[in-house]
Amino acid sequence: MWCYLNFGQCVFVCLSAMKSQKKKDGVKKKSLPFKNISDYTQFQLGCIALFVLLAFNLTSVQNDSVLKWIDEFSIFLPTSLFFSDCFRFAGGLLIYLGTFFTQFLYYPWLGSVAFILLLLAIQYLSIKAFRIPRHYFPLSFIPGLMLLLSVSDLGYVWMSLKSPGYFFSNALGTVSFLLLFIAYKRTLHLLLRLASLVFIVAIGYPLFGFYALFTGLIIVLYELFPFWRDKDAMRFVIVGVGLSAIVLIPQAYYYFAYSYMQQFYVYTAVLPRFFFNSAEFVLWIPFILLFLSFLLALLFLFRHSEVSPKPAKTAVVLSSIIYVCALIFTYVMSYQNENFMAEVKMAAAVDKGNWQKVTVIAGNMRGTPTRNVVLNNNLAIFKLGYNAGKGVMDINNVVPTPSVRPGMALLLMSGRSLFYNYGKINESYRWSMEGTVEFGLRVTYLKYMVKCALLNQEYALARKYNNVLSQTMFHRKWAEKYQRYIDDPRLVKEDKEMNAIRSLMQKGDSINIDFH
């Protein structure tokens, strides 16, 4: 927790220095602590390079297998039904676009590029929206770093997260907030500003959820500062109407438009569905710092106009220190756990039937494994037909799942595959369906329901699930393979994987495994 406190203190010190700096919006060249503009450009490029390197490291470099795994726990369908389902909740556009971009995580490098470009757009728009001076250029990366941390600190929570499109939705929401705020500032007439504020909240809420409300709050604060200075009654009206709109409009939508949304989440629509408890407080920290950074950035819009070249050096040094601290903070607080990485890689290997790779992953473990690692390793030993005792791990020598939500981690991670590969087809199907009911359609659930239906000779049911997968962008090849099995069931008997499962389903056979 001291990391968070020190980070907040650094931000406060820097912004205090900014407030006393008293310089013009367009900083004169002589006020920059650089010999020439070329040095300043190199400074900017250095900041950008550090940001991009960290972002790539935490996404497609260290966590390429995790990104592909995240895609399995999501789905995007180019259908009108899927589109309308997204809009059953406030922030429907962000949910829809978030799931659309999440499918590109199928190729981790491609999803990473899209995400990082989005974060760089946020950095650029932050400068434009809050007129961040060149002395404080490094601070413009703080929102992007917090959004990067928000997707790199989840670990096992990804499996039980009820926030479709989460990987991209909050970054997209931040972009929408910045664009709306910039557009509002360019509206000069106060009466038009009043109408714009109501429009942003009323029309933006079903599209952007919380981010439309946050835009309204920023606008209210933006108008409140001048009101204290010039006592313009129209600005007071804008503030009053804005606050009323933020409070009342979501309630109106809840009672008259949304029948699926819980009232508890009316004001936090699109924000992640984390619990408000001590265990998951750490997951809220990136969002607290994200929105706090924007609130503090308002101070840039009301700084004094006199030029004072001397503090520029101090400003650059302080903002650079905060930036480096934020980089380190983001890296340190990102979720990095050997067991989690092993389980994710094992899940992919099991789905491909690469049992040798499963044993290699288990063998490379340096620490004590979780029960999930042990069960998957022992399943692989069984599939490979090794002699009794060779490579088998002790089920009693395990560590608890390192997650803030440990209760269902084993079942959500490997329950489907373990039941399936031990011939417990109905149990595998059951937990795939349970997951679908609880969390919505996901690629991994549909795949196991297709295979279970085929093995149970329920070809119409298999066709139903497979038709959904055939509409996806990157999983349609998988669907095409099993569509041939559906059209010609004789091919099931020729499939090596399914033959192995069928032999375990013979009457009288019973294999029980420990999932608890």
Output the DSSP codes for 304-340: -----STHHHHHHHHHHHHHHHHHHHHHHHS---HHH
| Local structure of residue 399 (DSSP, 8 states) | B
* Burial track 181-193 (b if 16+ CB lie within 10 A, e otherwise): beebbeeeeeeeb
219 near 195, Cβ under 8 Å?
no
Q: Write the CB contacts of 345 (distance below 8 Å, at least 6 apart in sequence).
A: 65, 357, 361
Domain architecture of the chain: domains with CATH: 2-21+33-333 (no CATH), 338-504 (1.25.40)
Cβ count within 10 A of residue 314? 16
Its pTM stands at 0.90
How is residue 214 written in tokens? 């946050």
Rounded CA-CA distance 441/432 in Å is 10
How is residue 373 written in tokens? 């690692």
340 alpha-carbon distance from chain centroid:
17
Tell me, what amino acid is at 14? C
Residue matched to tokens 């980070």:
7
Rounded CA-CA distance 122/171 in Å is 8
Q: Write the CB contacts of 396 (distance below 8 Å, at least 6 apart in sequence).
A: none
* Helical spans, DSSP H, in 364-401: 371-384
Tell me what pLDDT residue 446 has: 98
Surface-to-core class of residue 400, CB atoms within 10 Å of its CB (0-12 exposed, 13-18 middle, 19+ buried): exposed
| Local structure of residue 389 (DSSP, 8 states) | T
Residue matched to tokens 């949910």:
95
Tell me what pLDDT residue 117 has: 98
**Cα-Cα end-to-end distance for the chain:** 32
- CA nearest 73: which of 360, 446, 434? 446
Rounded CA-CA distance 395/263 in Å is 44
- CA nearest 97: which of 112, 115, 109, 113? 115
For residue 399, report the phi and psi dihedrals to the nearest 5 degrees: -115, 155
- CA nearest 514: which of 450, 446, 404, 418? 418
93 near 207, Cβ under 8 Å?
yes
297 near 132, Cβ under 8 Å?
yes
179 near 187, Cβ under 8 Å?
no
485 near 448, Cβ under 8 Å?
no
Rounded CA-CA distance 468/466 in Å is 5
How is residue 501 written in tokens? 């499962």
CA angle 373, 374, 379 (to 5 degrees): 100
How is residue 231 written in tokens? 């006592």
One digit per residue, pLDDT tens: the chain, 516 residues? Answer: 444 444 444 444 444 444 444 344 343 444 556 667 787 889 999 999 999 999 999 999 999 999 999 999 999 999 999 999 999 999 999 999 999 999 999 999 999 999 999 999 999 999 999 999 999 999 999 999 999 999 999 999 999 999 999 999 999 999 999 999 999 999 989 999 999 999 999 999 999 999 999 999 999 999 988 777 777 788 889 999 999 999 999 999 999 999 889 999 999 999 999 998 888 999 999 999 999 999 999 999 987 544 444 467 888 999 999 999 999 999 999 999 999 999 999 999 999 999 999 999 999 999 999 999 999 999 999 999 876 556 777 777 899 999 888 878 889 999 999 999 999 999 999 999 999 999 999 999 999 999 999 999 999 999 999 999 999 999 999 999 999 999 999 999 899 999 999 988 875 545 454 444
Rounded CA-CA distance 186/113 in Å is 31
Residue matched to tokens 């309630």:
251
